[in-house]
Amino acid sequence: MSKRVSVFRKEHFNSAHRLFNPAWSAEKNQAVFGLCNNENFHGHNYELIVKVTGPINPDTGYVIDLKNLSDMIKSSVIDRFDHKNLNLDTKEFAHLNPSAENIAVVIHDLLRPQLGEEYDLHIRLYETERNFVEYPVQ
Amino acid sequence: MVFVTRLEHFNAAHKLYNPNWTREKNEEVFGACANENWHGHNYQLYVTVKGEPDPETGFVYDVKKLSTIIKEKIVNQLDHKNLNMDVPFLQGKLCSTENLVIGIWQQLVPHLPKEVQLHSIKLYETPRIYVEYFG
């Protein structure tokens, strides 16, 4: 059995969003989400770290070709979210609050079906330098 | 003469769009940044002032006071805002990082004490893009 190793690819995207629960009153949204509820949106530079864990392929020495992983992230995640309004421009967040937590889960679920069963996938998403989330929990 | 810098940050939405142009020309010139539904950034703001250290305090200027001025006059106006729609001092201007530093400079100067001079405004739009303005 080949040793299992984790490899990482870092990408980034810039988006606008708003944290808002349409089932709540304007006052409750303001009380819970504060500045993040601005109806005219605000935005972030998101930094995404995708971690793939799997066996080293004895023929290549790779866990996964990082160029292929980069292309996968670009076509599935970056092209979908970069320079977009997450609430208005993406079907993933048309009815889901685009919190960092939900964005990490959505990114995981976009990538997971594209990776073989031998791989574990883990997402770390920085919304700011000081706020970041991880999924799944380890 | 000593230079003192205070780093602050804010998060905002914007778009790059010239209302005098067609949508096609805006997309040609500004690309993804012209998205009509906005996009956004984590901005990092470096404010540098200069002066002589006060012989009694050793300070050019109390950076806590500088931080308070920047927060009240700049960050509170920009943080979690839509730069094109929500900010009075950017009304009618193209919301490029270049125009933002000029606007920040003009907002800040009247509120600084006379013993210090504003030297520069440096603004990072992303970790890889920044602009500087020296007045």
Q: Distance (Å, rounded) from C-alpha A122 to C-alpha A72?
A: 15
Query: What is the pLDDT at residue A138?
Result: 75
Cβ atoms of B15 and B34 within 8 Å: the answer is: yes
Q: Does the distance separating the beta carbons of A88 and B40 come in below 8 Å?
A: no
For chain B, the average pLDDT equals: 96
Tokens 């979908």 locate to: A80
What mean pLDDT is predicted for residues B43-54? 96
CATH architecture of A4-135: 2-Layer Sandwich (3.30)
For chain A, the domains span 4-135
pLDDT tens string B73-129:
999 999 999 999 999 999 999 999 999 999 999 999 999 998 899 999 999 999 999
Query: What is the pLDDT at residue A1?
Result: 61
Per-residue pLDDT at B37 exceeds 90: yes
Give B-chain residues touching A128 at CB under 8 angstroms. 9, 11, 42
For chain B, the domains span 2-11+40-133
How far apart are the CA of A115 and the nearest CA of chain B, in angstroms? 29
Q: Does the distance separating the beta carbons of A35 and B126 come in below 8 Å?
A: no
pLDDT tens string A34-63:
999 999 999 999 999 999 999 999 999 999
Q: Distance (Å, rounded) from C-alpha B47 to C-alpha B118?
A: 8
Give B-chain residues touching A81 at CB under 8 angstroms. none
CATH class label, B2-11+40-133: alpha beta
Residue B112 DSSP class: S
- Please say if B95 is a catalytic residue: no
Q: Does the distance separating the beta carbons of A41 and B38 come in below 8 Å?
A: yes
Closest by CA to B117, choosing from B46, B50, B68, B66, is: B50
Closest by CA to B49, choosing from B66, B64, B65, is: B66
Q: Is the peptide bond before A136 cis (omega within 30 degrees of 0)?
A: yes
pLDDT tens string A81-99:
999 999 999 999 999 999 9
Determine contact: A74 vs chain B, CB below 8 A.
no
What mean pLDDT is predicted for residues B25-42? 96
For chain A, the average pLDDT equals: 96
What is the pTM assigned to this prediction?
Answer: 0.90
- Please say if B80 is a catalytic residue: yes
Q: Distance (Å, rounded) from C-alpha A53 to C-alpha A59?
A: 17
For A92-132, the DSSP string reads TTSSS---HHHHHHHHHHHHGGGS-TT-EEEEEEESSSS-E
